[in-house]
Amino acid sequence: MKLTSQDFKANVKTALADPTLKIALNRTTGLLQRRRAQVIDEFAEYGAAREAAEKIKDHTLDNLEYYLTQFEENATAAGATIHWARTPQEATGIVTEICKAEGAKTATRVKSMLGEEIGIPEALAKAGVKRIETDLAEHIIQLAEDPPSHIVMPAMHKTHEQVAELFREKHAKPSNSDDVAALVESARHELRQKFLDADIGISGANFLIADNGSIVTVTNEGNAELTVTPPKTHIVTVGIEKIVPSMEHATVFLRLLSRAAIGAEITQYTTFYNGPKRKGDADGPENMHIVLVDNHRTEMLGEFLRPMLRCIRCGACMNHCPVYAAIGGHAYGAVYPGPMGSVLTPAMLDLKSTKDLPNACTLNGRCKEVCPVNIPLTDMLRSLRAKQFERDLTPPVTRYALAGWGWLARRPRLYHLTTSLAMLAMRVWSMNRGRIRWFPMAGSWTRSRDLPQPELGTFMQQYKRRGSK
Ligand code: SF4
């Protein structure tokens, strides 16, 4: 399945017509919202931690070159090899060259959105390296040949009944039960030997620590440790914005990340890797390569999208987005779905081919409210809309309507008269049924639902009538 942002409207229609998708999304987003609300309620220092996280990220972004250079020096001293990649092509080129040099036939992989962003699955396939996804959800979507639909829970679009059916079809020794524990056991059985046989282990990193050259991974399944430890070579692909100055700074984010992502105080596994295996170590990879990827991040540093580089990929914004909850992640046709994706995708691709994404938002502001690093997502979406308008990418109907509204809004008397008449017309129009089933220029709305009958009078008239009560 390959969907693109250009087909957003068609993708949305398909998603809305899928009743199973609705069940899958309702089950998970509701649960994640409740869990998050509870742990944040119990976390007395949440406000202070959020503020500190925002400041640390802003400081690190202000001094990005300094901290990245410090990381390079310290990681190299710990025995890792650092590679710099400006584009996805450069990054995947480095990864496949390492695989070639190692004569690798198989690679186990830990879920990493950066890996999806730069196209690691496609590059490995092209290089003839068999990819084995080890995260349970990634294992599911690899078997289903689906792209991820969420940045933390890539198989959010699947119900466990669908997963059971898939495992029965694809696993060597599947369980007859639809029970989640039985499904996990089935996946464990399927993957265990593959972990041990892999030539290369590929991971991302949740954080890079500048003052000691470590990388940090955060998982709930222990698959990162099993992916990274047995093979001879460990490759890390990571975005340059993941850098933090020190361990102390990383702990601020670790306290926020799992709370925001899955509503838990801490993830099951938080692992710090400092270079490859050293003399005397019982196990671990002999080589460690860290590929630091830019892919438009340095461009974002210098513009209004800069706060987006604070993102720690927790997924809370999509878990609380009414648009995501209705259509799921695939409809966005991009690696990053939901509110953060609607900002990031145009920044990484272009504003034209992704023009529907900044408009797939009600601007209700829940995403900003729940973001642990306080990213003003709705402000940035609004700015992207303004950029589209400036570049003539907004549809002509919208442009003319906005121009007409702008002209009218500068003439208050005429504006009040026109809005009063419009209200009156809508009330007369809906007199028979008490609702509006069709109205000129509101076809997109009324095609799928009725418009309610408007209140008597415009907002200003009602405000005056009611006073400030
Ligand atoms: S934008 Fe904020 S809420 Fe959304 S994934 Fe990034 S850090 Fe999480």
Q: What is the mean pLDDT of the chain?
A: 94
- β-partners of residue 294 are none
Closest Cα to atom 4, ligand 1: which residue?
Answer: 317
Q: Domains, the chain, ranges and CATH?
A: 43-295 (3.40.50.10420), 397-466 (no CATH)
Is a pLDDT exceeding 80 seen at residue 1?
no
Is a pLDDT exceeding 70 seen at residue 468?
no
Protein residues whose CB sits closer than 6 Å to any atom of ligand 1 = 260, 311-317, 340, 371-373, 375, 377
Is a pLDDT exceeding 70 seen at residue 348?
yes
Ligand 1 atom showing the smallest separation from residue 261 Cα: 8
Q: How far is the CA of 377 from the centre of ligand 1 (A)?
A: 9
Closest Cα to atom 6, ligand 1: which residue?
Answer: 311
Contact 384, 351 (CB under 8 A): yes
Closest by Cα among 283, 231, 277 to 109: 231
Q: Which of 254, 257, 320, 371 to mutate to test the pocket of ligand 1 (most atoms within 8 A of CB)?
A: 371
Q: pTM of the predicted model, to two decimals?
A: 0.91
Q: What is the pLDDT averaged over residues 246-250?
A: 97
User: Length of the chain, please?
Assistant: 469
Q: Which amino acid is at 219?
A: T
Q: What pLDDT, on a 0 to 100 scale, did the predictor assign at position 438?
A: 82
Q: How far is the CA of 114 from the centre of ligand 1 (A)?
A: 15
Give dist(CA 164, CA 307) in Å, integer. 41
Closest Cα to atom 2, ligand 1: which residue?
Answer: 371
Is a pLDDT exceeding 90 seen at residue 178?
no
Contact 317, 371 (CB under 8 A): yes
Place of tokens 């390959």: 2
Q: How far is the CA of 324 from the centre of ligand 1 (A)?
A: 14
The string of pLDDT tens digits covering residues 183-234 is: 999 999 999 999 999 999 999 999 999 999 999 999 999 899 999 999 999 9
Share of the chain above pLDDT 70, in %: 99
DSSP SS3 for 299: helix
Q: What is the pLDDT averaged over residues 13-24?
A: 94
Q: Which amino acid is at 83?
A: H
The string of pLDDT tens digits covering residues 303-320 is: 999 999 999 999 999 999
Q: How far is the CA of 84 from the centre of ligand 1 (A)?
A: 25
- Burial class of residue 277 in the structure, from the number of CB atoms within 10 Å of its CB (0-12 exposed, 13-18 middle, 19+ buried): middle
The string of pLDDT tens digits covering residues 67-111 is: 999 999 999 999 999 999 999 999 999 999 999 999 999 999 999
Cα–Cα–Cα angle for 381, 386, 392, nearest 5°?
125
